[in-house]
Amino acid sequence: MENQNQSYAFEGRGKVYLTPVTGGTRGESFWVGVSDTAALSHSVDGGEDLYERHTGKDELWDTSDGTTTTSMSFNIKERRIDALTAALQAVVETVASAAVADEAHTASNVGSIAFLKHQKVSNVVIEDSTTGTAQPLAEGVDYKVDADYGRIEMLTDGFVQPLNVSYDYGEVTVVKPMTSKVDHYEVRVEGLNKVGQKDKQLIEVYKFKPNPVDTLDVLNESFSELTLEGNCLYDASDDREASYRIVKL
C-alpha cells in the first residue's frame, strides 16, 4: 500500500536514445543529445455515444471505444549528426579526401568569388586559359583562399577565363535531408524524478514514426532546438502488445 504521506510529485529529467529499424533489422542505438522535454500524448477518434430512449430521459446508455492514437514529442538542443538524421529523415554520407585537376571557374574581376566543388582544400594551384602557355596565378597576390569553405577571391584581374583550379580536399560529412529509408525508431527514455520519491523510470516506445521537423534554423542569435514529433505504432509481438511501456525502477 502506498504511503499517503509520501509526495509523488513529478519533475522529470533524463536521457533520450533512438534505435533505427529498417526492414526489421535494428541499427546502432544513439543518444540524441541534450533533451529536457519529452511527452507522450493520447487521443481517441471516432467514438460514438448511444442514448437510451425507452425511459424518455435520453440518458447516455453506452459508448463505442473509437480509435486510439498515441504520439510522442521531444526536443533536441544539439546538432549531433545522428540526431539530425532522425529529425530531417536524412541519409549521412562521408566524402573521402581526394584531388581535383583543372576545375574550371569564371572569376574575371577584382573581388570576384569562385566556389570550389569541395571543402577543406589544400595545395591550390590556379592557371588561366591563355592559349599555348597557361598563365599561373600566385596565392596572396592574385587570389586568396578560404581553405575550410573552398572559396576563392580574386585580388587582381586581366586573366583569360576560365580559371583552372587544381587542389586536394579533405574528408567531410554530408547530410542529405528527406532521403532516409528508416522504417521507424525505437525510443528509450531513461528518466529521473527530481522531486517526490526521486524514483527512476524507463520509457520504451516500440515503433516511433517521426515527422520531419517543420523548421531547421540555419542562422540565429540564440540557442536553437529541434522538436521531433510522430506517432507511436502498436507492436503486436507477444512480449509487447502495446505501443510503449513504463518501467518503474
The per-residue pLDDT for range 90-137, each reduced to its tens digit, is 999 999 999 999 999 999 999 999 999 999 999 999 999 999 999 999
Return the minimum-mean-pLDDT range out of 15-24, 105-114, 216-225. Answer: 216-225
Closest by CA to 100, choosing from 120, 70, 85, is 120
Region 42-57 average pLDDT: 82
Amino acid identity for residue 106 in this structure: T
For the stretch 3-16, pLDDT in tens is: 777 777 767 778 89
Closest by CA to 210, choosing from 242, 243, 182, is 182
| pLDDT band per the 50, 70, 90 thresholds, residue 2 | low
Q: Is 4 exposed, middle or buried (0-12, 13-18, 19+ CB in 10 A)?
A: exposed
Map out the domains of the chain with their CATH numbers.
12-92+176-248 (2.30.110), 97-170 (no CATH)
Q: What is the DSSP letter of 120?
A: S
Number of residues assigned to the chain = 249
Closest by CA to 213, choosing from 81, 85, 34, 38, is 85
Q: How far is CA 229 from CA 36, 40, 117, 216, 246, in A?
A: 15, 10, 35, 14, 19
Region 32-61 average pLDDT: 84
Residue 103: the pLDDT is 98
Percent of the chain with pLDDT over 90: 65
| pLDDT band per the 50, 70, 90 thresholds, residue 197 | confident
Does 1 have pLDDT greater than 80? no
Does 148 have pLDDT greater than 70? yes
Residue 169: the pLDDT is 98
**Averaged confidence pLDDT in the chain:** 91
| pLDDT band per the 50, 70, 90 thresholds, residue 64 | confident
